[in-house]
Amino acid sequence: MTTSYKEQNSKFFQGYFDLIGTCTHDVDDGALMNFAKLAERRNCKVIIAGNGGSAAMASHVAVDFTKAAGIRAINFNEADLITCFANDYGYENWLAKAVEAYGDPGDLVILISSSGRSPNIINAASYAKQHGFPLVTLSGFDSDNPLRSLGDINLWVDSKSYNIVEMTHHIWLLSVVDYIISEANT
């Protein structure tokens, strides 16, 4: 018996959503709780950055931290900032230089790289670690990616699919924002 086009598509989407569900549930709730505690400390801000789709996610989450959760947050998605710093310091160093320029003692740095191997993200993580910034990393792909070992909290997705990794990161980040909002309302 052959399956119809509709049945094949339905199976694809159901499998896709099941995979995202599995990935989002495969997280240490305690790590998310500690992440939320780091983010909601007063007199500090959240600095969040990524490349490509992760940069777009950083923009969304920074706005939600600020507007919805009442926590000051910034990201570095301004073309003039990126091109200026990349031109002067090299693309692999622009983000570390941005953290240096905009970071204040105690600020929480959140860095996102699906592969965990982006040189600009790794260099920014190393800078943050060397200068005592609390650091949360989000990565995927290989379990031994270099970014995964640099943070105080390291959230990793067991997938090699960019979209699965990015969607899982996005859900985890927004769950922290929503947790902070729920705690403020209790």
pTM, 2 dp = 0.94
What is the average pLDDT score of the chain?
95
Q: How many domains, the chain?
A: 1
User: Which residues partner with 138 through β-bridges?
Assistant: 112, 155
Contact 77, 104 (CB under 8 A): no
Q: What pLDDT score does 3 carry?
A: 66
Q: What is the CATH number of the domain that holds 121?
A: 3.40.50.10490
Single-letter code of the amino acid located at 29: D
- Provide the greatest CA pair distance for the chain: 65
Say whether pLDDT at 10 is over 90. no
Say whether pLDDT at 1 is over 60. no
Mean pLDDT along residues 107-114: 98
Mean pLDDT along residues 108-134: 98
Which range is least confidently modeled, 17-21, 140-144, 182-186? 182-186
Q: Which two structure tokens, joined as six digits, stand for 180?
A: 């902070």
Q: Which two structure tokens, joined as six digits, stand for 37?
A: 């505690």
CB within 8 Å of 120: residues ≥ 6 apart: 51, 91, 92, 93, 94, 95, 96
Q: What is the pLDDT of residues 40-78, one digit of tens each?
A: 988 899 999 999 999 999 999 999 999 999 999 999 999
Q: Which two structure tokens, joined as six digits, stand for 141?
A: 């792909």
Contact 138, 152 (CB under 8 A): no
> What is the domain range of residue 21?
5-184
Taking each helix axis from N to C end, the angle separating 91-102 and 119-130, rounded to the nearest 10 degrees, works out to 30
Q: How large a percentage of the chain has pLDDT more than 90?
A: 91
CB atoms within 10 A of CB 185: 6
